[in-house]
């Protein structure tokens, strides 16, 4: 068995528990090392900083969730069931099982923001890809109204319902206005007509 890989995995599992318990700001690498029963220097062998370790923990959690989501969607039948799951599942999972992600959105330090934003961008693109596939299935089933701009619909759903573009607890008013301006027509259509074909 590969010992270095095992040790890295121990660090990640321990860090996940401690970050979830205390949050990013109140967690020290000393605590992680002590609970993992390793020297603090061992953590630095695999991760250059607490920020890098934290980001890797978040990435690992999302990789696990993406796998679970894909399996769940593959087992479901029909556009409507998949669409409902996609709207409810990710946020419910994050709130119940990934407090680290919420903490990251609120408290990730400035010096790692660029890497975190890159990860968020990749996450957003992945979620949009899944959503496009679900919507394409709805179109193929003849269930979705032709009045909707499906590209705009996907982006609006991702950004509003899945927090695909905003940090929790940090609202830039000008950015919010721009988003409302961008999405007001599609929101109006959804309120007036819904997403499903009528008649």
Residue 80 lies in a domain: yes
Residue-number span of the structural domain to which 12 is assigned: 1-47
Query: How many separate domains does the chain show?
Result: 2
- Give tens-digit pLDDT for 32-81: 999 999 999 999 999 999 888 988 998 888 888 889 889 999 999 999 89
- Give tens-digit pLDDT for 102-154: 666 666 665 666 777 777 788 888 888 998 999 999 989 988 887 788 888 88
CATH number of the CATH domain containing 11: 1.10.10.60
**Measured distance CA(75)–CA(79) in Å, rounded:** 12
**Measured distance CA(196)–CA(80) in Å, rounded:** 9
Residue 22 lies in a domain: yes
Q: Which of 30, 47, 64 is the last residue of a domain?
A: 47
In this prediction the pTM is 0.71
pLDDT of 29 > 90? The answer is yes
141 plus 63 within the same structural domain: yes
**Measured distance CA(103)–CA(106) in Å, rounded:** 5
Residue 121 lies in a domain: yes
42 plus 83 within the same structural domain: no
**Cβ neighbours for 19, distance < 8 A, ≥ 6 positions apart:** 27, 54, 57, 100, 103
- Give tens-digit pLDDT for 151-164: 888 888 877 766 55
């Amino acid at each position: 068995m590969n010992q270095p890989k095992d040790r890295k995995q121990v660090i990640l599992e321990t860090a996940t528990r401690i970050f979830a318990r205390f949050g990013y700001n109140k967690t020290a690498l000393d605590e992680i090392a002590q609970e993992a029963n390793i020297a603090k220097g061992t953590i630095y062998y695999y991760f250059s900083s607490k920020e890098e370790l934290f980001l890797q923990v978040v990435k690992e959690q999302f990789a696990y969730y993406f796998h679970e989501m894909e399996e769940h969607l593959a087992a479901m039948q029909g556009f409507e069931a998949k669409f409902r799951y996609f709207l409810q599942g990710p946020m419910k999972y994050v709130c119940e099982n990934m407090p680290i992600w919420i903490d990251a959105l609120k408290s990730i330090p400035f010096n790692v923001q660029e890497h975190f934003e890159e990860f968020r961008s990749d996450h957003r693109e992945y979620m949009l890809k899944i959503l496009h596939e679900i919507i394409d299935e709805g179109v193929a089933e003849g269930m979705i109204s032709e009045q909707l701009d499906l590209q705009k619909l996907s982006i609006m759903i991702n950004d509003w319902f899945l927090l695909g573009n905003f940090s929790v607890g940090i609202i830039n008013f000008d950015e919010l206005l721009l988003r409302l301006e961008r999405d007001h027509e599609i929101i109006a259509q959804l309120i007036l007509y819904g997403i499903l074909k009528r008649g």
